[in-house]
Structure 1
Amino acid sequence: MSTSANHGPVLRYIKHGSLVSQIALGLVAGIALAYFFPSAAQSVALLGELFVRGLKSVAPLLVFVLVLSSIANHRKGTNSNMGRVVALYLVGTFLAALLAVVASFLFPVTIQLKEVEQILTPPESISEVLLTVLLNVIDNPVHALLEANYMGILAWAIALGIALRSAGEMTKEVARSLSDAVTFVVRLVIRLAPLGIFGLVASTIATTGFSALKDYTLVLSLLLACMVVVALVINPLIVWTQIRRNPYPLVFTCLRESGVTAFFTRSSAANIPVNMALSKRLRLNEDIYSVSIPLGATINMGGAAITITVLTLAAANSLNITVDMGTALLLSVVAAVAACGASGVAGGSLLLIPLAASLFGMPNEIAMQVVGVGFVIGVVQDSAETALNSSTDVLFTAAASIHEEQR
């Protein structure tokens, strides 16, 4: 009886506790094990390997189902004012990805990757990249899923999604239900992140030394710096083009009343009620914000675009891949498109890194190591990313609404 009572809170914490605190605990435990018992740290590498393999197995299906369902269920004939909001979402996401490319060129960072030299054949030019993309796009869909060919997966998901837009509601509901089911499986895998991070960190530090921690810190710093620049420079400039007056009072209101809440909830979807209430207090056009806020939680993903781009280029730097300007621009486009399909689960943007990494010929095994690094720094990164994404939903909605009023 007493044993059960003592174990009750522990089991409740494991099942229902904050994933952020559990990942932080796994991170600290992994560092401690590697420092005090380096030989034992090598033995827990299996935990990290299982976690990475779980991500690797579910990611291709997740990308396929999410994109297909999103396109198939897109509503036709929505309010014409929504066009401006959607345009702001897409421009903001692309500029965030482009900023991440520029920042990664100016301040290149690297990450620790295992055994990659023998299996990597990096592209030599933008023409080779485009040829590879074209060949991957026309791949057999089953083969694309089996081999984690993300370009092929994306192409087939878009094509089938467009075809299903004219399907009956029951068919679309099946697509939605399948998307929810795959997302549920992803949530189960991500709940194992604390154990996976424990194994990854312990084995990596035991093998490479504490230099890996320095790499994590530098990558995280670059990510956060890019997000701050987007929030305080790029987004205000975009808003100014719409309202033609000082955008910062509106920017700071959105960051304070939406961004702070999103930072702690770590879910754009969970922050939708907060954003709806804020839009109402700002006296925005309800016909616009009632649609744009839920839509923004799905496609307005500037923070995710930054994460995908920075981590992909960090991996490219680690592998000594030379990235020319044409490929960098293509990466910005791919990262922006991938970000728009990011899952609503914590760390969802990380699962789309393989899509961007495929531009450089990186095998899925390497891309998933990069995803693992993302989960290590995700304690802070995911919170900052969500804060930027969610606050920008209200900001761009307000900019479009004010622009309409001024016409």
Structure 2
Amino acid sequence: MKKIGLLPRLIIGLVTGVIIGYISSNIGVRWPVRLLATFNDIFGQFLNYVIPLIIIGFIAPGIAELGKGAGKLLGITTGLAYISTVIAGTLAFIVGSFLLPAIVTGGTAANPAEAQLSGYLTVEIPPIIGVMTALITAFVLGLGMAALDSKHLYYVMNDFSKIVNKLISVIVIPLLPIHVGGIFANMTYGGQVVQTLAVFGQIFIIIIALHIIYLILQYTIAGSITGKNPLQALKNMIPAYVTAVGTQSSAATIPVTTKCGKKNGISNQVADFAIPLCATIHLSGSTITITMCSVAVMLMSGLTPTFNTIFPFILMIGITMIAAPGVPGGAVMAALGILQSMLGFNQAQLALMIALYLTQDSFGTACNVTGDGAIAMVVDRIANVNKKV
């Protein structure tokens, strides 16, 4: 029997939550919603505990891995990937600031209203360390391992990363549909769900459109630098895009992305190096989604997102999503820490971010891997120029 994917389970959880909230509100029975609210309180506390572990477990070995690469080409590829990620996030903020205020009304859902119900109990699970402390610790460990070429510590951190990955894939991800269902049951009970779902649909359309626009921009720039037809180059990457939509994994799509890149004339050496690297560090599609969703959730909360608030957040996204866990929703999991520490998101807002992100995760991944081909084209051009000098 074929296993049901995360997105269908998320939709089932969301719909079930809406039904439970609607029935509870109409017949005056509170306990099903309060029971789900209790689960959400405990699961939210667990997420708080896990977030610093995710940051250390994935960022530290990810930075260390970058230090073991191919010298100058590593630096060039990493720099281009980071610049692309920052531009993607900035573009998403500009578009979101222009379009979303007309769609989102303040207080739609992200801040629970008094009409929503509390759980029966709350279990405090304080994190081992704070989010910003975890970030600094991850940078220190990662840079230290890279500088010292410390294989023993790297192996320890790599095993720790696998433990955290297992924690996410076995516990966090399977329980997310229940968590999202609980959030929507409470929102339905409080009379907020209709507006929220309408907003979800419109944001989804804007995000997918922006993915496509950004891919066209990436290949236009890459084509102008390499002298290749950007539309033909983008057309050659369609198999990678389609594969990523199906697999929902940048890593699983690497063989197809590499083959498509070579079809665009990228040398074997550069394609085999740059594309697998970019699959880890270049997340422009994910950054577009997370930035757009962040703006939407802030507007739902009655807040006004500003460039001074969002741009530092975008700069940090490019770092925190290095080696994001290779599971559906891994990028947003890696970003939970800075959503909490830099934008001040509470558990309800984080749950909405997860729900918004996962509805388009396949398309965000497809944007990521397709954009990897554009980065590799530019790196190949730079490598050829250096050979001639």
**Is the shorter-chain TM-score for this pair beyond 0.5, marking a shared fold?**
yes
Corresponding position of 1:370 = 349
- Once the two structures are TM-superposed, the CA of residue 389 in structure 1 deviates from its matched residue by 0.6
After superposition, the Cα gap between the structure-2 partners of 1:238 and 1:151, relative to the gap in structure 1 and judged at 3 Å, is: farther
- Distance change (3 Å), C-alpha of 1:68 and 1:304: same
1:185 aligns with 2:182: no
CA contact 2:111–2:349 (8 Å) conserved in 1: no
Please name the residue that 1:89 is paired with: 81
Which of 181, 194, 208 is the aligned partner of 1:198? Answer: 181
How far is 1:74 from its partner?
Answer: 2.6
Q: Does 1:222 align with 2:237?
A: no
Greater shift, 54-63 or 174-183, is seen at: 54-63
Structure 2 counterparts to residues 139-288 of structure 1, below 5 A: 146=128, 148=130, 150-165=131-146, 166-188=148-170, 189-209=172-192, 210-232=194-216, 234-254=217-237, 256-288=238-270
SS in structure 2 at match of 1:87: helix
1:397 equivalent in alignment to 2:376? yes
Give the whole-Å Cα distance in 2 for the aligned partners of 1:67 and 1:116: 36
> Post-superposition shift, 1:378?
4.0
Q: Which amino acid aligns with 2:59?
A: V
For residue 387 of structure 1, report the CA deviation from its aligned partner: 0.6
Distance change (3 Å), C-alpha of 1:70 and 1:77: closer
Shift of 1:204: 1.7
The verdict on how the C-alpha distance between 1:336 and 1:172 changes in structure 2, with shifts beyond 3 A counting, is closer
Whether the 8 Å CA contact 1:48–1:200 is kept in 2: the answer is yes
For residue 295 of structure 1, report the CA deviation from its aligned partner.
1.1
Count of aligned pairs between the two proteins: 361
Answer yes or no: is 1:71 the counterpart of 2:63. Answer: yes
Q: Which stretch shows the higher mean deviation, 387-396 or 31-40?
A: 31-40
1:112 aligns with 2:112: no
Farther-moved stretch of structure 1 (269-278 vs 350-359): 350-359
Range moving further from structure 2, 316-325 or 199-208:
316-325
Query: 2:118 matched to which residue of 1?
Result: none
Structure 2: runs of 5+ lacking an equivalent = 115-125
- Using structure 1 for the length normalisation, give the TM-score: 0.79
TM-score, L = length of structure 2: 0.83
Gaps of 5+ in 1: 1-8, 118-143
Name the structure 2 match of 1:310: 292
Over aligned residues, Cα RMSD in angstroms? 2.7
Match of 1:127 in 2: none
Alignment partner of 2:296: what SS?
Answer: helix
Preserved contact between residue 69 and residue 175 of structure 1 (Cα < 8 Å): yes
Contact 1:303 1:389 in 2 (8 A): yes
Amino acid at match of 2:96: S
Seen in structure 2, the aligned counterparts of structure 1 residues 371 and 324 have a Cα distance that, compared at 3 Å, is closer
